[in-house]
């Protein structure tokens, strides 16, 4: 019979019969209720070694006096294996007192946990199968009794890159010390089938860290130890027999700083220790013994690493940034991932990417945000398992990382993170993508800081892209002042230069985004047309002249910011090994057209405009045509004035005029003479005669698209009108999405005009 059920029955008997039968002493102790935790543990003949550990540390009296506990007790056989593997000890009395004390504390968890309860918890409490927001046992860790001592660090302050910073160093290397207040007792992981199912993991993921397979779906493991049999009930908790001695798991900081073992990571740890932030903890400082009596005590500080993905030294873990509505302490659910290069691998990485030529010269001289990119490349907000290594996981830079297991030299499940030591460095995507030349060379620092302030690095380092990225060098920007960076105030501006004077314009984050996005082409030219039109990330186009090699925006390039002098740009390639495109250096930023459809037609094609006006579409006071949607893009075939002279509209009904006008507008497509689109039937704005009150259809015309030519096909299969690549074709239209106060206009391309030599007549065209 279940022990807790027995207690309930016993209490019920006392309640219902005690007052009626004086022969039963209601205070008598039932025979099967045999004692508290230590008493129950002591009674187990195969737990005698661990019972000795508890006695030596004084926890025999603690466990049997107050509180409620769950004890994970290694069997005598488990200790025999432990001593066999740790030959420096032959018996528990050989283990130093401090080490033995930590071992015992780590095997005791506060509060009683039955087997069902061990696998039925999450951050909101007990799971409920009917509650879709709290029906999975993701709370797989439990807080032990082990609280590390507050560590003391040496502090070194210095000035790097015009900024005062502090670093953590060895206490012997600095007269300045700070003592950290440990945030929590250590946590121990408890593994069970449901945990692996939730995260689509397998038993091999457990074996990777603990060097043993999961034997059965019903098994529960306390870190690397298997629970044997059922829980042993006690008055104030439970005792579990486990088949391994579980030593306290280290947190990420402790793993990196360990000097034992073949692989050393102290250089990477020293690098991470350039990111600390110490915050004075007044409450814990004054809570120290003697502080209330006025005795001198150490000041205690909370040590965090706010620029890093997680705090490698803290026992309490944190939720991913995308989660909301969680309680403050979520450590039982969340675990992190830490990878680290060995000293040799880290040195090789610095030499290859940061030292020499036009690079930063050293890790110390590298800008802070590049350092944080490097650090977070080796960190993950989630634990890392072999399943993740093969299919890829997101690191702290949100790069997808895959690891060859042959490069792993160490693996360890920590108290706040999984740890993997590597013989090879993970190269940040910021270094491998089109941003590589910008981030690794000092000569493009203004563009680099602009990318950072605009938050565009994630877009620029995307994999499986074929970008063309254009930037000005620092030297070029010093000459034209079109992008000036004030490093002290972290502020950008642009200067419009004129003979004998200048005017400064501040640049906001949106201005920087508009500027840079216009210089990111989304494809590369194929070379099969004289001019190609490459869409960019701002919603405009870059025009590539395959004959001359010139590249420009939708307007002519101008010298400097808002300059009047027109110049040509012949970009110079500066990247050689980017995996998502090519980076080019330019001497002047590209310019982009602000010509809108209404203005262009009404001023350059007055006769076609008059036809539109006669059809009743003109909204002159609003500077628009009534049938044009602001959210649509258009290709417009505009008849020349000479072609309009051949059109006789006298006496023509307004409805017929409208059909003629609308046949020249192709919504939903921007067609250029570079043959990027496929030939076929394209829907026009003209309502088809097949329409009814129940359904509206639009007339389609057949358009042939080939390099350097667009052909509108006639009904008999001949060419009705042909558009050659020329100044009269590919006239790009745009609209301004901004308020007018921007330094860099927020404009997008929303159409293109091609001049044609004939008015389109539905009866003469190949239609559908």
Buried b (16+ CB within 10 A) or exposed e, 466-494: ebbbbbbbbebbeebbbbbbeeeeeebbb
* Positive/negative CA dihedral, 206, 212, 215, 220: negative
| Cα(46)–Cα(548) distance, integer angstroms | 87
**How much is the pLDDT for 693?**
87
Say how far apart CA 517 and CA 509 lie, in whole Å: 12
Q: What is the largest CA-CA distance in the chain?
A: 123
Whether residues 605 and 684 share a domain: the answer is: yes
Q: Does the structure show a pLDDT above 80 at 32?
A: no
Residue pointed to by tokens 């004998």: 500
Does 270 share its domain with 361? Answer: yes
Do 670 and 646 form a contact (C-beta atoms < 8 A)?
no
Please tell me the distance from the alpha carbon of residue 388 to that of residue 394, in angstroms, as a whole number. 9
**496: β partners:** 503
Q: Which of 540, 567, 586 marks a domain boundary?
A: 586
Looking at the fold, whether 345 and 384 belong to one and the same domain comes out as yes
Q: Which residues contact 242 (CB under 8 A, 6 or more apart)?
A: 72, 73, 74, 75, 78, 222, 225, 226, 227, 228
Residues 6+ apart with CB under 8 A from 226: 212, 215, 219, 220, 242, 243, 244
Expressed in angstroms, the distance from the first to the final Cα of the chain is 82
- Domain span at residue 39 reads 34-147+185-242
State phi, psi for 481 to the nearest 5 degrees.
55, 30
- In a domain? residue 756: yes
* Cβ burial, residue 98 (10 Å; 0-12/13-18/19+): exposed
CA distances, 159 to each of 164, 350, 449, 571 (Å): 4, 21, 20, 38
Residue 288 has pLDDT above 70, yes or no: yes
Q: Are residues 270 and 196 in the same domain?
A: no
Token representation of residue 172 = 């012997």
**% of the chain beyond a pLDDT of 70:** 95
Residue 500 or residue 417, greater confidence: 417
The answer to whether residue 321 scores a pLDDT higher than 80 is yes
Q: Give me the pLDDT at residue 340, please.
A: 98
Report the CATH number at residue 605. 2.30.180.10
Per-residue pLDDT at 11 exceeds 50:
no
Mean pLDDT computed over every residue of the chain: 93
Residue 641 falls within a domain, yes or no? yes
Question: What is the DSSP code string of 172-193?
Answer: GG-S-EEEEPP-S--EEEEE-H
Q: pLDDT by residue (tens digit) across 564-614?
A: 999 999 999 997 789 999 999 999 999 999 999 999 999 999 999 999 999
Let me know if residue 276 belongs to a domain.
yes
pLDDT tens-digit readout, 270-280:
999 999 999 99
pLDDT, average across residues 67-93: 96
Three-state secondary structure string covering 243-271: CCCCCCCCCHHHHHHCCCCCCCCHHHHHH
Given 558, 586, 614, which residue is the final one in a domain? 586
Residues 634, 496, single domain; the answer is no
**Cβ–Cβ under 8 Å, residues 378 and 340:** yes
Other C-beta atoms closer than 10 Å to the C-beta of 4 total: 11
Q: What would you report as the CA-atom Rg of the chain, rounded to the nearest whole angstrom?
A: 37
For residues 158 and 165, the answer to whether their CB atoms sit within 8 Å is yes
Alpha-carbon span 360 to 629, nearest angstrom: 51
- Match 């990382």 to its residue by tokens: 401
pLDDT-based confidence at 740, cuts 50/70/90? confident
pLDDT at site 275:
96
In a domain, residue 526? The reply is yes
Please state whether 671 falls in left (phi above 0), alpha (psi between -120 and 50) or beta: beta
CB 708 within 8 A of CB 725: yes
Mean pLDDT of 332-349: 98
Q: Within the chain, how many helices (H) and strands (E) appear? A: 25, 40
Both tokens of 561, joined, read 């910011």
Given this model, what pLDDT does residue 54 score? 97
Instruction: Encode burial over 595-619: b for 16+ CB neighbours within 10 A, e otherwise.
Output: bbbbebbbeebeebbebbbbbebbe
pLDDT of residue 575: 79
Confidence category of residue 317, pLDDT binned at 50, 70, 90 = very high
* Measured CA distances, 121 to 112, 133, 138, 140, 725 (Å): 13, 13, 7, 7, 69
Could you give the CA distance from residue 221 to residue 214 in angstroms, rounded to a whole number? 8
Kindly state whether residues 610 and 522 are assigned to the same domain. no
**pLDDT value of residue 4:** 45
Query: Which pLDDT value is given to residue 728?
Result: 97
CA neighbor of 593 nearest in space, from 749, 741, 753, 730: 749
Domain C-terminal end among 586, 606, 636: 586
The pLDDT assigned to 159 comes to 57
Residues 723 and 707 in one domain: yes
Q: Which of 723, 374, 687 is nearest to 529 (CA)?
A: 723
Question: What is the distance between the alpha carbons of residues 754 and 431, in angstroms, rounded to a whole number?
Answer: 42
Residues 729 and 627 in one domain: yes
Interatomic CA distance for residues 410 and 345, integer angstroms: 14
With tokens 């950290």, the residue in question is 180
pLDDT tens for 355-364 read 988 999 999 9
Which sign, positive or negative, has the C-alpha torsion 17, 18, 19, 21? positive
- Mean pLDDT for 755-763 is 97
Contact present, 435 and 454 (Cβ < 8 Å)? no
Strands 467-472 and 581-586: parallel
pLDDT score, position 22: 39
Q: Once rounded to an integer, what is the mean pLDDT over residues 676-692?
A: 95
**Rounded Cα distance, 107 and 188, in Å:** 9
User: Which tokens hold the place of 52?
Assistant: 């000795």
Determine how many CB atoms are found less than 10 A away from the CB of residue 21: 8
How many Å apart are CA 154 and CA 179, to the nearest integer?
A: 9
Question: Could you tell me the pLDDT band of residue 31, with boundaries at 50, 70 and 90?
Answer: low
Q: In this structure, is residue 442 part of a structural domain?
A: no
Mean pLDDT of all residues in 531-549: 98
pLDDT band at 19 (very low <50, low <70, confident <90, very high): very low
Highest mean pLDDT among 18-32, 148-162, 433-447: 433-447
Q: Classify 687 as helix, strand or coil.
A: strand
Residue 434 lies in a domain: no
Q: Which residues pair with 110 in a beta bridge?
A: 69
Does one domain contain both 513 and 608? Answer: no
More confident residue, 158 or 228: 228
Q: Above 70 in pLDDT, residue 12?
A: no
Q: Which residues of 269-291 are buried (b: 16+ CB within 10 A; e: fewer)?
A: bbbbbbbbebeebeebbeeeeee
Residues 87 and 168 in one domain: no
Tally of structural domains, the chain: 4
Question: Which H, E and C letters describe 606-629, residue by residue?
Answer: HHHHHHHHHCCCEEHHHCEECCCC
Q: What CA–CA distance (Å, rounded) separates 353 from 368? A: 15
Task: Confirm if 647 and 764 have CB atoms less than 8 A apart.
Answer: no
500 has pLDDT over 90: no
Residue 441 lies in a domain: no
d(CA 227, CA 244): 9
pLDDT of residue 386: 95
Query: What stretches of 387-527 adopt beta strand conformation (E)?
Result: 393-394, 400-401, 408-413, 417-422, 467-472, 484-486, 491-498, 501-507, 520-521
81 φ, ψ (degrees, to nearest 5): -65, -40
SS3 labels along 543-585: EEECCCCCEECCCCCECCCCCCCECCCCCEECCCCCCCEEEEE
Question: pLDDT digit string (tens) for 636-676?
Answer: 999 999 999 999 988 899 999 999 999 999 999 999 999 99
- Specify if 432 maps to a domain: no
- For 91-125, how does the pLDDT look when each residue is reduced to its tens digit (9 = 90+)? 999 999 999 999 999 999 999 999 999 999 999 99
Question: What percent of the chain lies above the pLDDT cut of 90?
Answer: 87
Instruction: State the pLDDT confidence band at 160, using cuts at 50, 70 and 90.
Output: low
Residue 669 and residue 696 in one domain: yes
Helices 445-454 and 509-517: angle between axes, nearest 10 degrees: 110
Q: What is the CATH number of the domain that holds 568?
A: 2.30.180
- The residue-averaged pLDDT of 150-177 equals 83
Q: How confident is the model at residue 26 (pLDDT cuts 50, 70, 90)?
A: very low
Same domain, 311 and 238: no
Answer whether 70's CB lies under 8 Å from 112's CB.
yes
């Amino acid at each position: 019979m279940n022990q807790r059920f027995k207690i309930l029955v016993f209490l019920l008997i006392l309640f219902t019969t005690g007052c009626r039968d004086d022969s039963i002493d209601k205070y008598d102790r039932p025979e099967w209720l045999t004692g508290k935790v230590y008493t129950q543990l002591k009674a187990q003949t195969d737990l005698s070694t661990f019972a000795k550990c508890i006695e030596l540390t004084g926890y025999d009296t603690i466990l049997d006096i107050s509180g409620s506990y769950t004890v994970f007790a290694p069997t005598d056989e488990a200790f025999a294996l432990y001593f066999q593997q740790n030959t420096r000890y032959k018996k528990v009395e050989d283990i130093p007192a401090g080490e033995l004390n930590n071992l015992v504390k780590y095997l005791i968890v506060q509060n009683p946990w039955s087997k069902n309860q061990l696998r039925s918890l999450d951050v909101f409490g007990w799971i409920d199968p009917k509650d879709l927001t709290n029906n999975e046992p993701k709370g797989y860790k439990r807080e032990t009794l082990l609280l590390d001592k507050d560590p003391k660090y040496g502090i070194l302050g210095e000035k790097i890159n015009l900024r005062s910073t502090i670093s953590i160093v060895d206490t012997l290397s600095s007269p300045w010390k700070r003592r950290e207040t440990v945030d929590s007792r250590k946590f121990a992981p408890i593994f069970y089938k449901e945990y692996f199912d939730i995260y689509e993991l397998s038993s091999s993921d457990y074996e990777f860290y603990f060097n043993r397979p999961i034997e059965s779906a019903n098994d529960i493991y306390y870190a690397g130890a298997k629970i044997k049999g059922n829980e042993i009930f006690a008055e104030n908790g439970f005792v579990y027999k486990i088949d391994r001695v579980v030593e306290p798991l280290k947190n990420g900081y402790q793993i990196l700083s360990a000097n034992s073992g073949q692989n050393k990571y102290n250089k990477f740890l020293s690098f991470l220790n350039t990111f600390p932030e110490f915050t004075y903890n007044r409450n814990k400082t004054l809570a120290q013994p003697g502080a209330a009596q006025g005795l001198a005590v150490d000041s205690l500080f909370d040590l965090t690493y706010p620029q890093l993905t997680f705090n490698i030294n803290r026992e309490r873990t944190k939720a991913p940034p995308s989660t909301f509505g969680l309680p403050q302490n979520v450590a039982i659910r969340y675990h992190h991932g830490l990878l680290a290069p060995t000293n040799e691998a880290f040195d090789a990485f610095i030499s290859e990417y940061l030292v020499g030529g036009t690079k930063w010269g050293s890790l110390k001289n590298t800008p802070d945000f590049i350092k944080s990119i490097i650090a977070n490349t080796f960190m993950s907000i989630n634990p890392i398992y072999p399943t993740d290594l093969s299919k890829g996981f997101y690191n702290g830079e949100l790069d997808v990382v895959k690891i060859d297991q042959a490069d792993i030299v160490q693996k360890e499940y920590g108290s706040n993170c999984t740890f993997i030591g590597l013989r090879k460095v993970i190269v940040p995507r910021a270094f491998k993508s089109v941003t590589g030349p910008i981030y690794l060379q000092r000569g493009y620092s203004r563009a680099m800081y602009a990318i950072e302030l605009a938050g565009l690095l994630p877009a620029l380092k995307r994999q499986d892209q074929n970008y063309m990225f254009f930037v000005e060098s620092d030297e070029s920007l010093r000459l034209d002042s079109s992008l000036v960076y004030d490093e002290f105030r972290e502020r950008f501006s642009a200067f419009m230069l004129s003979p004998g004077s200048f005017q400064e314009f501040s640049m906001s984050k949106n201005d920087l985004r508009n500027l840079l996005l216009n210089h990111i082409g989304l494809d590369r030219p194929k070379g099969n047309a004289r001019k190609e039109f490459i869409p960019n990330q701002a919603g405009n186009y870059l025009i590539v002249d395959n004959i001359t090699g010139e590249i420009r925006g939708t307007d002519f390039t101008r010298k400097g910011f808002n300059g009047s002098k027109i110049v040509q740009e012949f970009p110079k390639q500066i990247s050689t090994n980017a995996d998502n495109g090519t980076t080019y250096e330019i001497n002047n930023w590209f310019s982009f057209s602000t010509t809108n459809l209404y203005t262009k037609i009404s001023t350059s094609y007055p006769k076609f405009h008059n036809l539109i006006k006669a059809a009743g579409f003109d909204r002159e006071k609003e500077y628009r045509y009534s049938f044009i949607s602001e959210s649509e893009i258009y290709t417009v075939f505009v008849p020349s004035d000479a072609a309009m002279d051949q059109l006789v509209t006298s006496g023509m009904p307004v409805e017929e005029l409208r059909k003629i006008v609308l046949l020249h507008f192709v919504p939903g497509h921007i067609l250029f003479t570079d043959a990027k689109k496929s030939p076929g039937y394209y829907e026009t704005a003209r309502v088809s005669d097949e329409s009814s009150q129940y359904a509206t259809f639009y007339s389609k015309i057949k358009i042939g698209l080939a390099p350097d030519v667009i052909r509108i096909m006639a009904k008999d299969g001949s060419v009705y009108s042909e558009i050659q690549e020329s100044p009269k074709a590919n006239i790009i239209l745009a609209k301004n999405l901004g308020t007018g106060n921007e330094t860099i206009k927020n404009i997008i391309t929303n159409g293109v005009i091609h001049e044609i030599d004939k008015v389109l007549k539905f009866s003469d065209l190949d239609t559908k």
